[in-house]
Amino acid sequence: MAANRFHLCCKVGLIAHQRSRQAFMVVLLVCCLFLTACEDREVKIVYNREAKVHFDVLRAGVGPSAEVGRTVQVRYIGSLATGEIFMNSYEWDKPHEWTIGDDTVIVGMDRAVTGMKLGEIRSVTLPPELHWGRVGYADKIPPNTTVHFKVELVGMH
């Protein structure tokens, strides 16, 4: 989205430049202010790719391991350190499904599921760098909070 704003400012700047140098400078200044103001409003989640997922296997699974490129069906319960549940996929009609590595879930969930076998249950702890980090999640997860998930791999293909 920021790239679209930048391209729009460039187009307006070129038109202004054709008219006069002074008009170009005014447009350039306004665009810089506009882009800076918009930047603060965008939600940016920056993952620390070096951060570690901590987990304990609560129940061993069977069969091949989940790996990047495989589609998984997962049930999970997400909670804060206080025990307050912020997300429970067991309440949904069907398991959460995604392909590992396709960037459709938080990077911590991809890492938590990678290596799991069908039927396996893990207790997972994610540092802020591997989920919604400094932004938090809606009104459910405060910024810079460690979260816990109980994750069950219920399907894979």
Per-residue pLDDT for 123 more than 50? Answer: yes
The more confident residue out of 126 and 17 is: 126
Check residue 133 and give left, alpha or beta (phi > 0: left; psi -120 to 50: alpha).
left
CATH code of 137's domain: 3.10.50.40
Tens digits of residue pLDDT in 137-151: 888 888 889 999 999
When pLDDT is averaged across residues 9-21 and rounded to a whole number, the result is 47
Which pLDDT score, from 0 to 100, does residue 91 have? 95
Per-residue pLDDT for 9 more than 70? Answer: no
The more confident residue out of 74 and 26 is: 74
Same domain, 32 and 95: no
| Tally of structural domains, the chain | 2
pTM above 0.75, yes or no: no
Which pLDDT score, from 0 to 100, does residue 65 have? 95
The answer as to whether 121 is a domain residue is yes
In the beta sheet, which residues pair with residue 80?
147
Same domain, 83 and 112: yes
Same domain, 31 and 108: no
Same domain, 11 and 76: no
Same domain, 33 and 84: no
Per-residue pLDDT for 37 more than 80? Answer: no
Same domain, 85 and 16: no
Same domain, 33 and 75: no
When pLDDT is averaged across residues 27-35 and rounded to a whole number, the result is 46
The answer as to whether 46 is a domain residue is no
The answer as to whether 49 is a domain residue is no
Tens digits of residue pLDDT in 54-113: 899 999 999 999 999 999 999 999 999 899 999 999 999 999 999 999 989 988 899 999
Q: Can you give the residue range of the structural domain that contains 108?
A: 54-156
The answer as to whether 47 is a domain residue is no
The answer as to whether 8 is a domain residue is yes
Same domain, 65 and 123: yes
